[in-house]
Structure 1
């Protein structure tokens, strides 16, 4: 886009546009404020741990006290940003500088947090903002400054600064980040659309030349990693990090921030930002009116192109109908052949295309598949089948612009999941496996499915996830470990739940402390182990539940002779049941004798006690409640479980020598790392550094509560990791993904690199 010297009228119009934009933002602040207050009020009412509920209440009280001051400061801050643009050519408050400058930690944190918010806002307002930016630059004859109030990151930075200036906490801002950035995006979107209407009324328009836009990154001195420019919230500057959270490169959300180079926030968040940056770059490349993607609205494909795509589907039907007599070639030479087919097929499609937009989309998809097919870590057999997805993906890309901007588009998710699961296998290891057969089946379904949109990808993606859950644990050794691990979690969950219920049952009963401790710390474990081994309604489990009630009654005061006689009569059977239960959890020998002696001494004291006894009605109610306890217990607010190889071996009666148990050890771990550990996708390959030895492992299973996670190596060894320890390993870099980013994201990046170097290829 050519930028000519601005006239006074043009500058005035640009400043008027900013004035209206800021006025609109400020006018929407009361509604935004109410949304946050409602959110915090609703959040405070949710159940959770004591710590979480206290944090939510503190956040609500803090916002109640200071929200009016924050709104006033926001108005002042945004209008202050407007004042900075009042003088022509005035330098921004946050200048883009090639030099380095030291900044304070608080300022760094503010900018990092603002950049994250700006990324979400920019994603929602992308096309309207881009149009406003271009027209404003056309009026003023210069690029928008990095601190221009029209930019999402400038708005977000001032929001963060004023939040802290009002005395609100940064942690509380993190708590309301989702609704805040969502409402801010809606507010900003409405203002950008209003500015476009103003510019239309004033006849402000600029030519849209995709070729010039593609070259712009070179002309303005922005590298490919930062080709998005400041309007992306800085995401493009960090665009080569790992999708699984590898250590970030030394880049910053804002180019002039030096101290932020070390990064902040969870690797998962940073990885998402970088991935979004790449997709935003691609979307902006394809959202120009000249390529028929104006305002990301899809346009019908040309008739000749539709006919060519339909012919490919007919060819696929003929191909599969004759497969019974064909011998598939999965050699490296076959991969080279299908790569050439992808290139030739794209060239033919581009000849049929009638618009520049169709040609650009065809080229981008072809480049993505060339990148996928060149990934030699994917076995040739799988790459051959991936090649056949070019046409179905192209149909989706032509009809659904979100394919280029949505990381969770079903077509992307499917290819990424299949790719991530096969990267750890060589050709011989995957050939003839159920995984190869499933990938082949999925491709056949997609090619022959009557619908051409994302619906088919949604269906087969769901089927593949179900298949994966079975396939990853189908080996006998792995299946056995999974069964054991499930029992471990079930046992620990039940032990916690039995303890909670016993505490509730004994809350108002006059029960001695020795008996309480025994029931809470020991007998709850007996009940849990018996329920896991034999079932909650088994005769032994029922007997242990009855023994708990009998022990409570026997240890209470016995002022009447008949009651004392009854205790003496029942005591041998009760003690025998207690010994049997203790043996079940490995308490034997002298340790068991000491425990029984403590209980019998307590029972003897009950004979001499003159306090009130527990009524038979209370005991009967306790027996009834314990008998059907599983109908009442829930999975809420459960704590962490103990885990060790000894637990597995002693409690479940198996040899645990083949399992590397990595249990929680109390090491400090950030909460966002624990959250990241809970989001790891099954099938992904990692490098695990455990006790100085490095192993290539695949993530194959997690328990229902996600407290236990299993990784399997090709040599048959397995690693059972507890949740917080898994977060600690991720935090320390002891567990790292073998893939720096997802397959389609890397393919997108490769495609953009080729387009940067040779923009003309989009239209040839």
Structure 2
């Protein structure tokens, strides 16, 4: 700790803090330098191609020559930056980006991008200490830290990167050593922030400290009481030690699960989990409910109903690792009905008056702040993300000052931590992360008004963020910037901002609108639209073929028809009628003529004991054969196959001339004709089973080269029914990795047919994969198709928030 020195003013004290911060951080550069050099040295011991090994040796040699220059230059610019006087800044909002129009070199932009990555990692590690120091310095200077203040991680990281390049070191080599560099820099920064906080504390610049107290449910006597007492050992102050947060969330000793209500609950959970644990989707959902359960018990520890046990510590820990919380939840898709604390959360008191007013003010300030970023060049996105992470933290700190209850403080903190995690997701393009940041206050309003936001995976606000995040994770910044998808996300965010009081309803409305947009956007490419059109026709044709066959069997059930005619109508002509109905329409004259041909064929193939009937057959035969050839050509039957089929039919017609059986009555033929003409009126929703999918037929229907389309048809591979149901539940827009014929590719799920028998995936390079339902399920079952974001953006954010609260529980109520 520093020795306190006499200071003339609070601003002098703040200046001394900056000096000591730079002194400590600069001293830590020795450790950063050594970590980088050690890492480069270890790289040379790794095997690789000759080119890779030579590149590693060159990087090690160059760094050895320039490392001293880099360290000295970085120290020098840090010392110069600490002496820059602060400019006026608003106390409640971060300084806006400099939006003056000027040409920016590629080197400047690339430096900012690399620096932003380092700063995000540093900020994640030091967020608590930095926030404490920021608030203390703000108290001393009467204003917020400006964007260029050296106390901000993004500032000293950018100077460090700039001096790396100025020292003649390669930016490519910097990318290679980012992990050890940012890890060691974060450790040194944490020391510097903590020393500065200790110094200010010794000078009487105190920061209000709120101890996190435990509210635990009543426990009975015996072993339960003893365990509950042990969990409540918090010392005289009642503060919760950092290592006991998981125990506080557990709330019940493990022995209570061995008998009584605990045993019954365990039995239900185990049985239900066995029903739904067959797929990764079910397991991911179980883990998600585990995280949500921890959040409930963290913020509402007294919300458990009398007589319903809470989860033991071991179960709470295992939920994080993937053990199911309640199998019933995965079946019903609803928040845990076995957890009675959900009922205690349904009627949340309204936000306190001071907090409600602060939310309204923050909403206005946030809109102004983000509007100032609208003209920002896309290249500045990563830099903006770093500032946004800080803005989320600062906004939460200001709101917690106005919170009237511990519950409000806890909700504000958890929402802020979740948004910090979302903004740190590298797979989301920076432009979209900037838009997500604008949802912090609207989501906080919903979370305060509807605590089930933390427990219901189907809450509209959660679903909307998950869906938007999942859709953009496969795009790079250049692909998303200025796209229609970015524009739609921007529109969605603006609508939510315009109706802050609507809460759940506005999130539900825009989610439905986003889903409708997504269905069109993902299939708007010309090549994709053509494949979708043909694939939809394929399913419609196969569906109608099956249903027409069923109805033809019904119509011909009591009629004396030769087997050859039955087989032809069921196996060939039903497909002809279905394809004509798909292409031209069920009541199109061409389709009606083909339907009439079926009735004419049945009549012509019947016994003809009368001369007049034989004469009619002879007169109608040329037209009958023409329509037969027309229909067979429609289904692309080859000429030789057509002639063979027609020969079979004409032989049947010839035999009918000498048949001695009773002829088919004209009344029956008319009933058949009317039934065929209105065939669709009899069709019900039949279950479409496995249908043939012919790649050559699809290529012919497309009329284009199919080198970029892989048709993956069913092949009778064994697949479990739960996995087939999982395949039906895949959400359009999600990104997957597919391994087809030994080649892996990143693909987006862009479309499924009306009856979900056909599913289309598209890769960024223009290649597409069309899979049938059961083959899709087989790919999922064997891991040939894997979801890139199985858990979901908000669940992962909640998990990250819990991890931070485990490490630093006191921050929850500060």
TM class, shorter-chain normalised? Answer: 0.5 to 0.7
Q: Does 1:727 align with 2:777?
A: yes
Please list every run of 5 or more consecutive structure 1 residues that lacks an aligned counterpart in the other structure. 1-129, 145-205, 235-252
Q: Residue 317 of structure 1 contacts residue 448 of structure 1 at CA under 8 Å; is this kept in 2? A: no
Specify the alignment match of 1:14 in structure 2.
none
Kept in 2, the 8 Å contact 1:688–1:696? The answer is yes
* One of 352, 363, 373 as aligned partner of 2:402: 352
Q: Residues of 1 paired with 2:689 and 2:490: CA distance?
A: 43
Does structure 1 residue 496 correspond to structure 2 residue 546? yes
Of the three residues 354, 374, 377, the one matched with 2:427 is 377
CA 1:655–1:495 in structure 2 vs 1: closer, same or farther (change >3 Å)? farther
Aligned pair 1:135/2:219, yes or no? yes
**Pairwise CA RMSD:** 3.3
List per-residue Cα deviations over 1:698-747 (Å, max 9, x = no partner): 00000000000000000001000100000000000000011241000000
1:274 aligns with 2:308: no
Tell me the TM-score normalized by structure 2: 0.63
Aligned to 1:127: none
In terms of mean alpha carbon deviation, does 685-694 or 209-218 score higher? 209-218
Match of 2:758 in 1: 708
**How far 1:594 sits from its partner (Å)?**
1.2
CA distance in 1, matches of 2:256, 2:782: 30
Deviation at 1:261, TM superposition (A): 12
Offset of residue 265 of structure 1: 2.1
Residues of 1 paired with 2:708 and 2:256: CA distance? 49
Q: 1:228 and 1:514 mapped to 2: Cα distance?
A: 74
State the match for 2:301 in structure 1. Answer: 288
Residue 613 of structure 1 corresponds to: 663
The more displaced of 570-579 and 654-663 is 654-663
Aligned 8 A contact 1:710 1:719 in 2:
yes
Equivalent of 1:755 in 805, 808, 814? 805
The match for 2:37 is none
Q: Deviations over 1:162-209 (max 9, x none)?
A: xxxxxxxxxxxxxxxxxxxxxxxxxxxxxxxxxxxxxxxxxxxx99x9
How many angstroms does 1:635 deviate by?
A: 2.4
Q: 516, 520, 530: which one pairs with 1:480?
A: 530
Q: Secondary structure at the match of 1:135?
A: coil
* SS of alignment partner, residue 711 of structure 2: strand
Q: Residue 214 of structure 1: CA displacement?
A: 7.5
Larger Rg: 2
- In structure 2, relative to structure 1, the CA distance for the partners of 1:601 and 1:636 (3 Å cut) is same
Conserved 8 A contact 2:303-2:344: no
Contact 1:530 1:541 in 2 (8 A): yes
Question: Judging changes above 3 Å, is the alpha-carbon distance between structure 1 residues 450 and 579 closer, same or farther for their aligned structure 2 residues?
Answer: same
Contact 2:584 2:591 in 1 (8 A): yes
What secondary structure sits across from 1:136 in the alignment? coil
Structure 1 residue 619 displacement after superposition: 0.9
Normalized against structure 1, the TM-score is what?
0.67
In structure 2, the CA distance between the partners of 1:228 and 1:341, relative to structure 1 (3 Å rule), is farther
SS at structure 2 position matched to 1:141 = helix
> Is the CA contact (8 Å cut-off) linking 2:281 and 2:790 kept in structure 1?
no
Measure how far apart 1:231 and its partner are.
11
Offset, 1:143 = 4.7
Q: Structure 2 CA distance, aligned partners of 1:486 and 1:645?
A: 14
Conserved 8 A contact 2:227-2:253:
no
Which position in structure 2 is the counterpart of 1:540? 590
Equivalent in the alignment of 1:511: 561
SS of match in other structure, 2:494: helix
Give, in angstroms, the shift of residue 649 of structure 1: 2.8
Distance 2:373 2:364 in 1: 15
Query: Is the CA contact 1:584–1:651 (under 8 Å) kept in the aligned structure 2?
Result: no
Give the Cα–Cα distance (whole angstroms) in 1 for the partners of residues 298 and 563 of structure 2: 72
| Closer, same or farther: CA 317–265 of 1 in aligned 2, 3 Å | closer
Aligned to 1:337: 387
- The superposition leaves residues 495-544 of structure 1 with CA deviations (integer Å, 9 ceiling, x where unpaired) of 11111111111011000101000000011111111222222222221111
SS in structure 2 at match of 1:667? coil
Tell me how far 1:612 sits from its aligned partner.
1.5
Is 1:394 aligned with 2:444?
A: yes
Paired positions, count? 547
Among 718, 728, 740, the residue aligned to 1:678: 728
Pair 1:333–1:326, CA change in 2 (3 A):
closer
Residue 211 of structure 1: how far off its partner (Å): 5.6
- 1:295, distance to aligned residue in structure 2 (A): 2.2
Pick closer, same or farther for the CA change 1:625–1:656 going to 2, 3 Å: farther
With over 3 angstroms needed to count, the CA separation of the structure-2 counterparts of 1:133 and 1:398, relative to structure 1, is: closer
Q: 1:274 to 1:232 in 2, by over 3 A?
A: farther
Match of 1:189 in 2: none
Q: Note if 1:447 corresponds to 2:497.
A: yes
1:362-761 correspondence runs (5 A): 362-650=412-700, 653-761=703-811
In the TM superposition, what whole-angstrom CA distance separates every residue of 1:378-424 from its partner, at most 9, and x where no partner exists? 11101111111111111111110100000010110011001001100
Structure 1 residue 648: deviation in Å? 1.1
SS where residue 290 of structure 2 aligns? helix
Q: Secondary structure at the match of 2:219?
A: helix
State the 1:264 CA deviation.
Answer: 4.7
* Counterpart contact for 1:316–1:448, Cα < 8 Å: no
Alpha-carbon separation, structure 2, partners of 1:621 and 1:273 = 57
* Whole-angstrom distance in 2 between the partners of 1:554 and 1:468: 53
Q: Is residue 242–residue 807 contact of structure 2 (8 Å, CA) maintained in 1? A: no
| Cα deviation, residue 490, structure 1 | 1.1
State the alpha-carbon separation in 2 of the partners of residues 411 and 231 from structure 1: 38
SS in 2 for 1:331: helix
